Structure 1
Amino acid sequence: MTDVSGAGESTVHTQLNEIPAPRGGGDNSGDLSVRDDELGKLGNMAFELHGRLSNDGKHAEEATRVAKSWLTEDGMDTGSALGELQSAWETKLGTLQEACAHISNHLDFSLKAHKQDEETIETGMRNAEGKLMTVSRISEYIN
């Protein structure tokens, strides 16, 4: 206890701990927020990128095979190196395609799971007496 009044009276002070503000700004509310429209756009972008990679990522495949063949037939080590480069490219391209598919599928799953969770919460809320609360009853508590 400390004397803050100057009159010899002791007062007790309470200080609450708090979460420090995040670096770089942002909301510090700690609430989970999901925006279906944003998740949907990101999932769609990943799906489209996967499709483009399937086509555009193999654009030079045939020309590279032909060049590798010619260079190898001419006895140049460059042909072998070009073959190794093509193999590495195909591996990396496949990995990137898998990542895009994983992102797209995960966001689709997240959207569906979030909607199901919301429906469960909305239809399963009960009051203190254990009675099922309708949406209109829930609104009474919020306002």
Structure 2
Amino acid sequence: MAWNEWNQPKPAPAPRAADLVAHQDDLGAVGHEAHVLHGALLKHADMAGHEPNSTTTCAPPRAATALTRHHFAMGAALTTTTTLWTSQLRALLQACAHISNHLDHTKASHARDDAKIRTTIRGIATPEVPVSRLSTYFK
């Protein structure tokens, strides 16, 4: 690139989209909804005829077993569907639990950090504090 090309005016950068902002109340609401969804799934979702909290391996329902025994292809298909449903349901339950637990932890962690900062600032709130001392609190 020649100097005269480099020296030409450059187009203005495209405006940036707003950064993602999440407030504590928003995080708490998302975590709460994930917890509620987790509870509702445990209560209402059918885990292949097992108790919702069961961690046993998914066994095919009686209908699939009976159909397979009578050589109907639908038996194997029903077993596959049940296995996939249970697998996906467990993944969704884990995701809900992870979201809820992570946001609860994040909220508590930020609250502790805020309390520590408030305490620190109150301890150095005199006008005579030199800048060099202030910088030790913000590393």
Matched, 1:78 2:74: yes
- The alignment yields a C-alpha RMSD, in angstroms, of 2.6
Matched, 1:96 2:60: no
Unaligned 5+ residue runs, structure 2? 1-11, 50-59, 135-139
Whole-angstrom distance in 1 between the partners of 2:116 and 2:15 = 33
Q: Highest CA radius of gyration, 1 or 2?
A: 1
Match of 1:45 in 2: 33
TM-score of the pair, normalised by structure 2:
0.65
Q: 2:65 aligns with which of 64, 69, 79?
A: 69
Q: 2:119 aligns with which of 102, 118, 123?
A: 123
Amino acid at match of 1:21: P
Whole-angstrom distance in 1 between the partners of 2:13 and 2:28 = 31
Q: 1:54 aligns with which of 35, 42, 66?
A: 42
Amino acid at match of 1:107: L
Match of 2:16 in 1: 22
Over the matched positions of the two proteins, sequence identity in percent amounts to 31
Unaligned 5+ residue runs, structure 1? 1-17, 132-143
**1:123/1:34 Cα in 2 relative to 1: closer, same or farther (>3 Å)?**
farther
**1:97/1:116 Cα in 2 relative to 1: closer, same or farther (>3 Å)?**
same
TM-score of the pair, normalised by structure 1:
0.63
Q: How many residues align?
A: 106
Amino acid at match of 2:114: E
Determine which structure has greater relative contact order: mean sequence separation of CA pairs < 8 Å that are 6+ residues apart, divided by chain length: 2
